[in-house]
Amino acid sequence: MDKTTNVRVADSQCDTADTRYARFWYQHTDTFVYPAIGVAVALAAGSFLRPTRGEVFDRGAPVTGGTVARGGLGTSRPGSTDGGGGSGGG
């Protein structure tokens, strides 16, 4: 997200050294709707701190907003790593 405006940006913008952009982590639930790129981020629903337990998905939230489908049995979502219980995004 853009820390000066609190809006979601493309994930790739959070891969730069520009401190204006930071990953914002949400705890994933089946009913949580992620904001679209350009839409305000619900700061009360997440954190700038990367989760340290469970499974982390650092990519994959739809650019148009919406929910994130979980992987099926024996599969995982793109960008997943061990380490936290959330989903991140720019």
The tens digit of pLDDT for each residue in 13-62 reads 988 899 999 999 988 777 888 899 999 998 988 999 998 887 888 877 88
Please tell me which residue, 89 or 53, carries the higher pLDDT value: 53
Q: Provide the 3-class DSSP secondary structure of residue 25.
A: strand
Could you give the C-alpha distances from 19 to 6, 28, 54, 72, 75, in angstroms and in order?
A: 13, 25, 27, 36, 34
Domain map (residue ranges) of the chain: 1-90
> Which pLDDT score, from 0 to 100, does residue 61 have?
83
Query: How far apart are alpha carbons 56 and 72 in whole angstroms?
Result: 16
pTM of the model: 0.71
The whole-angstrom separation of Cα 60 and Cα 90 is 11
Q: Evaluate if residue 84 carries a pLDDT over 70.
A: no
